[in-house]
Homo-oligomer: A and B are copies of this chain.
Amino acid sequence: MLHHLDVRIDEVAPGRVVLSLPFRKEVAQQNGFFHGGAIGFLVDDATAAAAATVVRDGETVLTAEYKINFVAPGVGERLVCRAETIKAGRTLIPVEARVYAVKDGVETLCAVALASMAVRAFDRLKGGQA
A residues touching B (Cβ–Cβ < 8 Å)?
1, 4, 26-29, 35-38, 40-42, 44-45, 48, 62-73, 86-87, 89-94, 96, 109, 112-114, 116, 118, 127-130
- How many chain copies? 4
Which residue of B29, B37, B69, B87 is within 8 Å of A40 (Cβ)? B37
Residues of B within 8 Å of A109, CB to CB, are 86-87
**Whole-angstrom CA separation of A44 from B35 in the bound complex:** 10
Decide if the interface of chain A is mainly helix, strand, loop or mixed: mixed
Specify the chain B residue showing the minimal Cβ separation from A42: B37
Q: Which of A41, A70, A72, A116 neighbours the largest number of chain B CB atoms within 10 Å of its CB?
A: A70
**Whole-angstrom CA separation of A95 from B72 in the bound complex:** 14
